[in-house]
Structure 1
Amino acid sequence: MKDKDIHLVSRESVILFASMLKEVDSDIYGLLRQATIPNDIDTETDYRFLPESSLKNTLDLLAGKLSNQTLGWLFLRACKEKYIPRFVNKLSGCSTVKHAIERFCQQLNHESTGAKTSLQYAGETWWFVREKNGVDEAWFKYAEMFSVIFMCELIRAVTNDKWRPERVGIQSPCIDEFAKLPSMELAQFFLERPMTAVEINEATLSLPVSASRQKGVLKNARIEQQLDSLSFTQQFTLAITPYLSMGKLPIKIAAEILRMNVRTLQRKLAAENIIYKQFIEDLVFKEVSKRIIETDDAITQIAIRYGYSDGAHFTRSFKRIYGVSPLQYRKQNLDK
């Protein structure tokens, strides 16, 4: 698996994990800040991706506040009620369980760059495999716990609960937490494997898909983005766009959000001839110009949204880039 410079995850996935924070504390906005998740994550926004670091921070928070048993049940409920239905709705038209799992693996590649899933044949049987780096980091165990539950529940969903997990390989070195996961009591776990893997025999893979499209869960009709082909600058743009409301986002804050060293971020941007301060300003005003044209929000409201407390300073900066004031820019574009 190719290691990406900045791992990306879909906004929908972050929303799922952000909703789990409500089980920890009613002060959800305080927890979102700790997890570096934008406060507008659950509203109508233009961004589609966030840095995977936001999920890692969320897992660290959840693990620090909840017992492993509570986390297991929380993961299971989230999978059954939200995550599995969303993916099942994208598997319509699949004739067999094997086809459905292969389609899921393709779909995940459009939603995340941090992990790779696939079907692999080894040891005279088939395995539903997840490859992921970071086994020595604190968040990894909890991410793998969620993944094991999700993979098993996905198979159950497409077989109409005709399948049960029997053999599961995990990268983590501790078996107790996994053996106690809900719905996994009868599974045999194998520790410290190079990847997470759930055995699924050929007879099960040949079964027709039983899961049906569920009402109330909409299929994402947007064109899927080929994340694997993105340059570092493109990765960085997608990852940092949700945080542009912070205005002149200091590079130190950006690096913290991305769990990167400041010098590493500077070096990677410089390799693509990018000057951080100028690049961030360009991104901010690209979003600002869209909002000026596409909404009737007051200019002062837009200025505040993107980190400018001084309207005059905002207007001067905008005029320096576009040659006209924000109000003139709106009028020019509305007259076209």
Structure 2
Amino acid sequence: MKAIVQERFGAPEVLRLADVDVPRVGPDDVLVRVRAAALNPYDWHMLRGDPYFARLMGGTGLRRPKSRVPGIDAAGVVEVVGANVRDLRPGDEVLGLCAGALAEYALAAPREALVPKPAGLTFEEAAAVPLAALTALQAVRDIARLRAGQRLLVNGAAGGIGTFAVQIAAALGAEITGVCSGRNAELVRSLGAVRAIDYTAEDFLDQPERYDAILDNVGNRPLRRLRRVLTPTGTLVINSGGKPGKVFGAVTNFPRGFALNTVVRQRIRPFIWKPRRADLEALTELIEGGKLAPVLDRTYALPDAAEALRHVEGGHTRGKVVVTIA
């Protein structure tokens, strides 16, 4: 099969299109014929082995990539099911988390990483859902514990996670302020935000408003300043931060957040998403109910995956970037 492969850590240029073996299916696995795969900042972190701290913790591999074929978000058609899989069969259309998604075939192992694709979504739209929407749902619903009438600020509201977070928070009845560029302000308001702050023209940290929760998808502001725009018992959800080549990169604010959480009334919550089938099912219910819709920035063909990942790494995507495979 055709797949994007990487033999070493580095910039997107290390990626190449190659012929590789189709993954072997175990008794609890599902082989998916991938129709589309979405990219995330997670993917360029894996590509570069960044941050270096993650290599020591076993997250990316130490000297070379743990996974030869990158990608994790996929949508496609079930090709083969393992002997223990009872609720899926060949021909079913699915979305979910598949190791090595940038390939013609990818393995969901275990099967719990997959759910049926909503009929109203294209494969490209469906591929955009898993990681980003899981992150948004868990951050807003579980970590921030957002309730109807509460005020949420989303830093990075026009990105992959941000566009899902605004919609999910709106479905929960929250009042949302989104931080984005001016060109994306109309998009963010259309997704459910009552206000969009153009970060190129004003600093949301200088505004008088106070928020019950902040979801920080960018990590470009000091924690002490973010806390100033929280209510006295508000929640700061730390989801991101850092640039390529950093020793600690995206987890730089995590130890600071844990330390602060022990001495302040506000809830400071460093956060990493978890792969949960029940949450994927909750997301598809929101989609089928018309409360959640993926926002697509650009689509690329499989041979152009390096260019697609370079665009994601630039940090200014409008929704999700998707690679079409079939």
| TM-score between the two structures when normalised by the length of structure 1 | 0.24
More strand by share: 2
More helix by share: 1
Tell which structure's C-alpha radius of gyration is larger.
1
With a CA cutoff of 8 Å and minimum separation of 6, indicate the structure with the bigger relative contact order.
2
| TM-score between the two structures when normalised by the length of structure 2 | 0.24
